[in-house]
Amino acid sequence: MNTASPLELNLLAFAKAVPDLRRAVRRHLGASCADVQLCVTELVGNVVRRVGEGTPVRVRVARMEGAGGGRIRIEVDDPDPRALPVLLCATGDDESGRGLALLDAVALRWGVAQGAAGKTVWCEVEERRDIDRRGSEEAPVGAWPARRGGG
Of residues 125, 9, 144, the one with CA closest to residue 72: 125
Residue 54 region, left (φ>0) first, then alpha (ψ -120 to 50), else beta? Answer: left
The gap from C-alpha 140 to its chain's centroid, in whole angstroms, comes to: 16
The pLDDT of residue 114 is above 80: yes
Mean pLDDT of the chain: 80
pLDDT band at residue 147 under the 50/70/90 scheme: very low
The pLDDT of residue 92 is above 70: no
SS3 content of the chain, % helix, strand, coil (to 5): 25, 35, 35
**CATH code of the domain occupying 7-141:** 3.30.565.10
Of residues 44, 27, 32, the one with CA closest to residue 140: 32
pTM over 0.85: no
State the average pLDDT over residues 12-27.
95
Domain coordinates in residue numbering, the chain: 7-141
Give the pLDDT confidence of 46-82 residue by residue, as tens digits.
999 999 999 999 999 999 876 566 899 999 999 999 8
